[in-house]
Amino acid sequence: MNDDQLLRYSRHLLLDELGVEGQERILAGHALVIGAGGLGSPVAFYLGTAGVGRITIVDNDEVDLTNLQRQIIHDMSRIGTPKAQSAGASIAGINPEVHVRALVRRADAALLDELVAEADVVLDCSDNFSTRQAVNLACVRQRKPLVSGAAIRFDGQVSVYDVRRVDAPCYACVFPPDQQFDEVRCATMGVFAPLVGIIGTVQAGEALKLLAGIGTSLAGRLQMLDARSMEWSEIRVPRHAGCSVCSSLR
């Protein structure tokens, strides 16, 4: 690290668990962020400020006024701008050393297979079940850790799905692809603005720990937050031996 980096990341360097070696692993890391909305905003910001060397952001949507209540990486001047590009500009404004690749594309299976293979950690900040399943499938195939979050109304959840651990489940172990889930979106159901910040920040923290090789991840644990009472609950989520996605790929 050069002198500027030593100063910028000095508060990380003071942490015994992280230090110079951990920060250098972060600087060399590559994070793939799917979605630059409510969850993607704090995720991308904190990965950028922490110095993740490369961040790929995928989102095919544009910024509109209704986003600004909670999507803090965007501002009024970016209305009509692709969210991925807006997020990249915000990261560059606070840490120009980070290399951001902004892809204004839908995260389909072919693109995910390509991008996940290049990444060290994947963060699912999408807002629909089909995309989450596609991201999980690509992560299982490529043996890459997945940090997944969701938030709607006052309810949030977050976990890590890391198939490099033989005892850890993938996303489909917990939420099988063939189950019927009611798709609920903030456009019709609403979302408490700080909730996405809380869940997204936890996602960023889990990704940074994975990149730095420190601490214990949320793999095998699903944390849920009721922001009405600000109460967290946690359940253990084991690997499902009959999972249609990961059982044959382990």
Query: If you ran DSSP here, which 8-state letter would residue 67 be given?
Result: G
Asked if 57 and 102 count as a contact pair (C-beta separation under 8 A), the reply is: yes
What parts of the chain have a pLDDT lower than 70?
Answer: 180-187, 249-250
Which pair of structure tokens corresponds to residue 235? 């359940």
Identify the pLDDT of residue 178: 86
Per-residue pLDDT reduced to its tens digit, 81-94: 999 999 999 999 99
Identify the pLDDT of residue 171: 97
3-236 maps to CATH 3.40.50.720 = yes
Q: 186 catalytic, yes or no?
A: yes
Task: Give pTM, 2 decimals.
Answer: 0.95
Identify the pLDDT of residue 247: 87
Domain ranges of the chain: 3-236
The one catalytic residue in 125, 139, 170, 186 is 186
Per-residue pLDDT reduced to its tens digit, 150-189: 999 999 999 999 999 989 999 999 999 987 666 666 667 8
Report how far residue 139's alpha carbon sits from residue 160's, in angstroms, rounded to the nearest whole number: 11
H or E, element range at 101:
strand 99-103
H or E, element range at 210:
helix 193-212
Q: What share of the chain is helix, strand, coil (3-state, %, to 5)?
A: 40, 20, 40
